[in-house]
Each structure stands twice: as C-alpha cells, then as structure tokens.
Chain A
C-alpha cells in the first residue's frame, strides 16, 4: 500500500512537472517558429511558466530576454514590468537559480545580442550579480572575456567593467590597471577605454605612463600608438586632474599625440588649456636656418 502511494505520488509529480514546463516549451517553440508576433506571444507563455514554477531559471531568463515595453500600453502594469530594470531582474533570477550556467550565458551570449535593450538588461543583471551575487566569480569571467581573442567579448567586458567601475572604482580600477600588462593589444585597448569611461582620477598616473612610453628609448618599452591615442582620449574623459597631463602632452613637441591632447582639452573646456594653446600658435613656421659649425 505504501509502495503504491509512493508510486502514485511519483507519477503525479512527473505529470505535474510536465504541466509546469508546458508553457515554457510552448514559448520556446513560438520563438523558433515564423508565426506573427511570436516574441510577444512567447512572452505570455514565459510569464505563465513563471506563475506555475517561480524558480524556473530558463523561463526567467527568456522573459528577461524577450519582454519589451513595445507589447503593452503605457497605462498597463505590464508596461512597467517590461522595463530594462525588471528584465534585468528576471535575468538575475535565472542566475540565482543556476549561477554557473547563466553567468557565462549573460557575459558571452546575452551581451552580444544586437538589441540594445537586451544588452542593457544583461548589464542590469550583471550589476546585480556584482552587488548581491558571487562577485569573485563575475570578475573572473569578465577578466576571461576581456582577455578573449574575440573582439566582441573584449568590448562587452570593457563595457560591463566600466559601468560597474563607475559605482565602485576602488575595486575595478586596480583590477583594470593590472590588466594593462596583458600581452594582447586588444585587451589593453579595452582596458584603457574602460578606465576613461569610469573617469577615476586614480587612473591618471598609469595612463600618463602609457602615453609617455612613446618616447621610450627602446622599441620594446613603447606602447602601441593606438593604445596611447586612446589613453589620451581617456584622460580627456576623466578631466579634472587629468588636465595638467593633457597640457604636458600638448607641450611635448616630439609627441604624435599633441593633436589628440588638444582636442581632448578643447572638449573639456578648461581654461588651463588656453595659455599652452596660445604658446603652440607661437611656434615657428617653416623656415631655413644656417648653422655655422665654427661659431
């Protein structure tokens, strides 16, 4: 009798599970189909799947991925629920349910999507991971992405790191500075970009060192021109205490980055740039000079 009850219970459980996933399966099928308004209809199914099984990681992820405010009237409550923040929360919930799988999906797949809203929702989710989830694992994956051979991964990682770094520069900036030693130029390029976007003045010395390396005596000590050029642009984004560094570049007459520095100063609009720029105008024009060795 006891065995029979257990068997019946198991059958009910299996059937129940089948019912719970039915909406999810239907939603996924709709996405694959070429039906009209397939995403909008799939979203309805994902919502039902979550209603039945609130901890279904896949349903949360897919809802975060496909939901859109375009499907609702602005007065509907669903309109608010389809905001980027809410979609990010669904993606984060998927991560909570299955951290190892969804962390990788978010970084290496979702961020790569063509839809900016999907990218922004993934950023929201990853920011939540940083704030509430396994921060160490997240940073490890982001490091892996920024060191990747694929430019899209490097770009996405720089974007996430820059955004997280804006609210927590004391953790992210040192990490990025360490990554500047990486052998791959593409990685260093993205790190420099991220440092500029974070806008932390702590990055100024390291950016200045990169820029100065252009006049290093040995070729091996010189950073690539593209990275140095971006480092100047990064100083321009940081502004404030970076202005004297930009002025210094403007005054280095052998530097290839003078024009870049002048442009950055022009955008910043800081009056400290005026005198060095006036001095640049005073520089001698083309001329011929006779030098007598016996003088």
Chain B
C-alpha cells in the first residue's frame, strides 16, 4: 500500500495544479481563454471567461471574436431527427439551468423553463417522417404556452449555458463540439469599465474625447453610458471655459502667476477642478502638475472642439422631450447650452420653455439658458409670451427681468399695467424691480398708486420692494 502513496500524491498534486490553472487553450475554436479574476466575479454581476489569445486563421479568428471579449454564454444546438434525439436533447438542455429554447417550424423560438430538476417539460412526440408533437401533458410548462400545439413540427432545441468558470467553458464546448459543427458565444460588455472610462475622459479635459462621447450620447443603446457621456461632455464644456485663464499662462510661458492678475471666477473654478493651486500668503496661482501644466498646452484645442458647433447641435436635439426621454440627459444638455450660450439655441430653448408636458424644473432651466444668452433672446421671449401657459409666462417674465434692457423693461411694464392676474403680477413686479432703472421705478410707483386701497398680496409685495429699495439707497447714500 505504502508504495502507492507517492503515485497518489503525484496525481493529487497534478489535479490541484491543473485545477488552479486560470487559462485554457480551446482546440476546437483555436483560442486561449482566461478565468476572470476571482474578485471580478462579484462585481457588476459579471461572470464568464475572457478571450486571451486568438490563433490567426483559426475558427474563432474567422468569426471575428476579439481578444478581451468576455464570453458569458455558450449556446449549442441539438438537431432533432427522431423522438430519441428529442428526449436526449430535452434531458441535456435542462440539466444545468432548468430551461431551454424550443424551435418549432415556422414559429419564433419558445423558451421553456421547468421549476426543478425532475419536472416534465410536457411534450410527447411522434417520429414518422418528421418529429411532431403528438400530446401535450396538462399542467406542465408546455401546456401553459399557447404557442405550442399538437401537430407542430420540432426543428431543434437550443441550450444556453451560462459560464461561471473555466471548467464550465471546457465542459460545454467539448459537449457541443461533439454534436455540432458550430457553436454560438454570447459576449457581455463590462459596463463598469466603460462608465469609469467615460467619467475619466470628462475629468481629463482632452479634446480627443469630445467626438467619442457625442457618439455614445447619440448612438449607444445603453442608457447608463449615455448618461455618463453627457455628464462628461458637460465637464469638458466647463473645462473649456477656463481657456482664457490658461491662455494667459500659455502666452507668458509660465506655470505661476500673481493671483491678482487672474479673473476671480475663473481661478476659483480652476482651483476647484484641481488645475491650479493658490497660495494665499505668496498670492500666487501655480499650475498643478501634471494636470494643470498639461492643460495649459491643450486648453485651446478643447475650447475649439467644444465650440465647433457639433456639440451645441447635439445638445439642442437632446433638450427636447420629444427626442430625449431621459430627464437627466435633458438637464445636462440644457446646462451645456447654458454655459456655451449659442444664439442658435434660442428657438430650441423656447420650445422647451413653452412645452407644458415638460417638467417645471427643466422649463425653468431653459429660461435660465435664455437669460444667459441675454439680449438676443428678448424678441423670441416676448413673441411667445401670449401663447405660453401660466408656468411658461412666469418663466418668460423672470428671464426678461434677468436680461433687462429697454425692450424687455417696456414689455414687462406694459404687461403689468394690462394684466389682472395676481399670480403673474407678482412675478412682473419682481422682474421690473430686478431691472431697477428709473422708468421701472416710476412704473412700480404707478402700480402702488393703483393698488393704494388694496391689502392684496401685490400691494404688500410692492411695499416690500420699495422698502428694500429705500434701504438699499440709504446704505449707498453716505458717499
């Protein structure tokens, strides 16, 4: 007995070593597959094997299977030529995961699932010339499916095997290769990697990222990727806005400048984004390495890429509820337009503002975008005022108040003097007070006289406006 111990030990250790191998060369498809890292298996519900190497001109190579793809399923077919084939195929197909795909002639594939091992699928067949369903057992999964009928001709059975480990892969491919000349692989995308890459590209502020991100926003079917892409585009737009600041560093060919020589708002943004470091004692703003120093060189390129028109066009499309069902994406696109302030966006923004199917927050954001564009928006805002609903009117008035100027002011005063709607009156007073020039104050005085005997909300509000204005003036008068 003792003399067998070394031999047994040898085989046990061989088994252990082989069991721990994490790659396998598949001779059927001529490719090497690799077990996923153990710790990856629990992330993002991922399972499968990774294609490590594909042999040139082998079957996998000819099928265009690529290195790095994650094989999550192997799908094999059982051809059915006799009732014995059918019984064997059913038994094998449900053995691992209790479900199979049944292909009936001239019908779409039907998925059948049994509750537990040992349950019957519920189909009995006849095989004269073809394999035909002769009886469906009541109370079985087959009887619950109205598409399965007596007399149907069975074509084939497909077995989808989810791959968890290298040995799952080995077993499945060996089994399917014995019965068939081909096999189907279903690959999965590692969404987490793509989301992280998209986010990182937004943070890195490189012009090369703009078009690929637009492409994802426009064409990718995966919502999570589209959301990440639009957020990264928004970040790139913010970074491109720092170009004037970085131009100063670039033109002077320095990495450090006195804080006072830089625009306050821009330098604060750059500091928050980790591009510059401000020393409050030395009063210097130094470019951070490597991000700030590298960005000095390429901020101009990013600025040009962001402002070349394509991004604005895409954003204008995706702010419309009719084109973009996801509100996060619509919001991010509105934010992009709000930063870039293109005049071409006035009409698309107006469309959002007056769309009463849109949620109020987004309509308000559209109004904010129009305010940022400023004077060029005034005519369009005035034009749609009367066709807008109450919420729309409110936003329009508020936007005109923010933009200011003679045309906006005159329109607001005229509207205030002609409306009896108390809700809009308040917004109008607020907007006119925001403009705050002499004609505006005179107009508000007139309104105060108009509501002299009244203790309505508008009268109280007007009093508050004048109180705050007089307080403001008192604070300014000492000089």
Supposing A262-B193, A268-B291, A281-B212 touch, asked if A291 and B29 sit within 8 A by C-beta, the answer is yes
B34 part of interface (Cβ distance < 8 Å): yes
A267 to B196, CA, bound (A): 12
Q: Is the CB of B200 within 8 A of A277?
A: yes
Contact with A along B201-230 (1 / 0, CB 8 A): 101111011001000100010100000000
A65 to B39, CA, bound (A): 44
Contacts of B266 in A (CB 8 A): none
Contacts of B66 in A (CB 8 A): 284
Q: Is the CB of B200 within 8 A of A289?
A: no
B20 part of interface (Cβ distance < 8 Å): yes
- Chain B residue at minimum C-beta to C-beta distance from A260: B196
A250 to B356, CA, bound (A): 46
B463 part of interface (Cβ distance < 8 Å): no
Number of A-B contacts (CB under 8 A): 179
A283 to B69, CA, bound (A): 8
- Chain B residue at minimum C-beta to C-beta distance from A225: B39
A8 part of interface (Cβ distance < 8 Å): no
A161 to B212, CA, bound (A): 44
A258 part of interface (Cβ distance < 8 Å): yes
Contacts of B194 in A (CB 8 A): 280-281, 283
A97 to B194, CA, bound (A): 59
B294 part of interface (Cβ distance < 8 Å): yes
A286 part of interface (Cβ distance < 8 Å): yes
B186 part of interface (Cβ distance < 8 Å): yes
A268 to B298, CA, bound (A): 16
- Chain A residue at minimum C-beta to C-beta distance from B74: A291
Give the contact-size bracket for chain A: 35 or more
A2 part of interface (Cβ distance < 8 Å): no
Contacts of B64 in A (CB 8 A): 289
Q: Is the CB of A273 within 8 A of B188?
A: no
B2 part of interface (Cβ distance < 8 Å): no
Contacts of B39 in A (CB 8 A): 214, 225, 228-229, 256
A259 part of interface (Cβ distance < 8 Å): yes
Q: Is the CB of A283 within 8 A of B189?
A: yes
Q: State which residues 237-271 of A face B: CB under 8 Å.
A: 239-240, 253-259, 262-263, 265-271
Q: Is the CB of B186 within 8 A of A286?
A: yes
A136 part of interface (Cβ distance < 8 Å): no
A266 to B72, CA, bound (A): 29
A183 part of interface (Cβ distance < 8 Å): no
B426 part of interface (Cβ distance < 8 Å): no
User: B177-185, B381-389, B453-461: which lies at the A interface?
Assistant: B177-185
Q: Is the CB of B37 within 8 A of A284?
A: no
A218 part of interface (Cβ distance < 8 Å): yes
Q: Is the CB of B199 within 8 A of A291?
A: no
A206 part of interface (Cβ distance < 8 Å): no
A285 part of interface (Cβ distance < 8 Å): yes
* A124 CB to nearest B CB, Å: 23
Q: Is the CB of B28 within 8 A of A293?
A: yes
B321 part of interface (Cβ distance < 8 Å): no
A275 to B37, CA, bound (A): 25
User: B55-63, B91-99, B410-418: which lies at the A interface?
Assistant: B55-63
A-B CB proximity, top 6 nearest? A269-B291, A256-B40, A225-B39, A253-B68, A266-B200, A256-B37
List 28 A-B residue pairs with CB atoms under 8 Å apart, sorted by A's residue number: A220-B20, A222-B38, A253-B67, A253-B190, A254-B34, A254-B40, A254-B50, A256-B36, A259-B193, A263-B196, A265-B204, A266-B199, A268-B291, A269-B275, A269-B290, A269-B291, A269-B294, A271-B204, A273-B204, A275-B208, A280-B197, A281-B197, A283-B68, A284-B187, A288-B184, A289-B184, A290-B185, A291-B185
Residues of B within 8 A of A (CB): 17, 20-23, 28-29, 34-40, 43, 50, 52, 58-60, 62-70, 75, 177, 180-190, 192-194, 196-201, 203-206, 208-209, 212, 216, 220, 222, 274-275, 288, 290-292, 294-295, 298
